[in-house]
């Protein structure tokens, strides 16, 4: 892999897959970033019946990859997708619900 030409998100994805065992690696899915930025990496933990957890501003490092796998375990163990701020590993600068718990989306159509 040519690190100069590979986006940070792709590098982080590759590191997460490498750090994960075969069982977890199969659950990590790659999506193409719609903004195509060369900045900090983002990821979302999703599971049916749970509020998605957005993780942002991550560096493409092995430490961050391990922290993401730890977050996925915490997310998986939670009842509703909530992971308390004090449980978020330091390598993940920001983690928050993608859609705040209890919030409903509505479209106002005329």
DSSP per-residue string spanning 9-75: HHHHHHHHHHHS-HHHHTT------SS--SS-EEEEE--TTS--EEEEEE-SSHHHHHHHHHHHHHH
pLDDT for 37 equals: 62
pLDDT for 35 equals: 61
Residue pLDDT, tens place only, 84-103:
999 999 999 999 888 755 56
Residue pLDDT, tens place only, 23-66:
888 788 887 765 666 566 888 899 999 999 999 889 999 999 99
Read off the pTM.
Answer: 0.76
Domain spans, the chain: 8-77+89-97
Look at 25 and 15; give whichever has higher pLDDT: 15
């Amino acid at each position: 892999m040519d690190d100069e030409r590979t986006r940070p998100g792709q590098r982080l994805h590759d590191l997460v897959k490498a750090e994960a065992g075969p069982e977890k690696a199969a659950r990590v899915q790659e999506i193409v970033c719609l903004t195509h930025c060369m900045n900090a990496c983002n990821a979302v933990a999703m599971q049916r019946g749970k509020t998605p957890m957005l993780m942002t501003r991550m560096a493409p490092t092995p430490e961050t990859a391990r922290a993401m796998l730890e977050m996925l375990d915490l997310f998986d163990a939670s009842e509703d997708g909530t992971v308390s701020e004090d449980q978020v590993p330091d390598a993940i600068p920001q983690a928050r619900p993608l859609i705040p718990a209890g919030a409903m989306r509505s479209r106002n159509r005329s």
